[in-house]
Homo-oligomer: A and B are copies of this chain.
Amino acid sequence: MKHLSKGMLLLALICLSFGVPPKKIKVLFFGDSITQAGVQPNGYIVKLDSIIKQSHLPDSIELTGAGIGGNKVYDLYLRMEEDVLKKNPDVVVIYVGINDVWHKATSGTGTDPDKYEKFYRAIIKKLQEKNIKVLLCTPSVIGERNDNSNQQDGDLNQYSHIIRSMAKDLSLPVCDLHKAFADYLNANNPSNLEKGILTVDRVHLNDKGNLFVAMEMWKALQNMMK
């Protein structure tokens, strides 16, 4: 992203100087119900859009949501042609994993960790073949207790490890939501509640949660553009 983005921002500035409308950087968020809700009022994508508009950047970043409820990593892979590649994004943020872990317990249809990695890598490969920049995200939370006593904490930690080591292996940036949530909940959930801090129902974000994710995403996106 380094070179591209610097170049793009430079181009944007040049264009602005000459009154030419700047090319927008298109960022697409690819995920599940959390991302589907992200484009609703107060959703994390809407909030991120506000943050960007309030910053000193030229209006050069356009955000799109491509989230579908219940999606796991292989569902993203199946629909990436239609829902991602056809939209020609410059950057794709992949935020998936909650259902891959959660559905093991709720319907017996989660995703094994090796398959999770395999499909995740296949998505990345297809994006990179189109010169699309990729930002990986570790999965946020299923339950907000801060002492690793939520039922899925073991898996969420494991699947987060997988994301981090793929990122390292492929030299890709990560928005480490799982760590960010853990740090926040350690500091801000003294009664060790299972929901109500950043989520409404242990998984889906409340207002504070949407803002929190928006800010984490913004930090990660800015790092990509440095």
Contact = CB atoms under 8 A, between A and B. Distances in A.
B112 A107 contact: yes
Nearest to A111: B109
A75 to B, nearest CB: 7
Contacts of A111: 109
Nearest to A77: B78
A221 to B, nearest CB: 28
Interface residues of A, number: 31
B108 A104 contact: yes
A118 interface: yes
Interface string A94-105: 000000000111
Contacts of A151: 154-155, 158
Interface stretch (A16-24, A46-54, A142-150): A142-150
A74 interface: yes
A176 interface: no
A152 interface: yes
Given A108-B104, A108-B105, A149 B122 contact: no
A152 to B, nearest CB: 6
A115 interface: yes
A122 B153 contact: no
A184 interface: no
Interface string A119-137: 1001000000000000000
Nearest to A113: B151
Given A105-B104, A109-B111, A122 B157 contact: no
Interface of A: 74-75, 77-78, 103-112, 115, 118-119, 122, 143, 147-155, 157-158, 161
10 contacts: A74-B119, A78-B122, A104-B105, A104-B108, A105-B108, A107-B112, A148-B157, A149-B158, A151-B158, A152-B154
Given A78-B122, A149-B154, A152-B154, 5 more contacts: A74-B119, A78-B119, A105-B108, A109-B112, A150-B154
